């Protein structure tokens, strides 16, 4: 059932023409169908303070999205 939820979340995100460096999909299952509750495309913290290498990796991901890799 977990894979079903992840597949449904990926489908929600793939409906956009934009690529995302971060996304969180919150939802609930109703009759075995994911019902979107929240689609978060920006997070103020991202937990970057939890790993000293995280800011570098995130900056590289942003640069890659902008074609500056």
| 2 has pLDDT over 70 | no
Burial annotation 35-67 (CB, 10 A radius, 16+ → b, else e): eeeeeeeeeeeeeeeeeeeeeeeeeeeeeeeee
pLDDT at 53: 95
The model's pTM: 0.48
Q: What is the pLDDT of residues 9-64, one digit of tens each?
A: 777 777 776 677 777 878 888 887 778 888 887 777 778 889 999 999 989 988 88
pLDDT at 68: 66
């Amino acid at each position: 059932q977990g894979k079903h939820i992840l597949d449904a979340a990926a489908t929600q995100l793939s409906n956009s023409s934009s690529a995302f460096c971060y996304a969180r999909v919150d939802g609930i299952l109703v009759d075995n169908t994911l019902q979107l509750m929240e689609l978060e495309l920006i997070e103020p913290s991202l937990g970057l303070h939890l790993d000293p290498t995280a800011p570098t990796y995130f900056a590289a991901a942003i640069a890659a999205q902008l074609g500056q890799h």
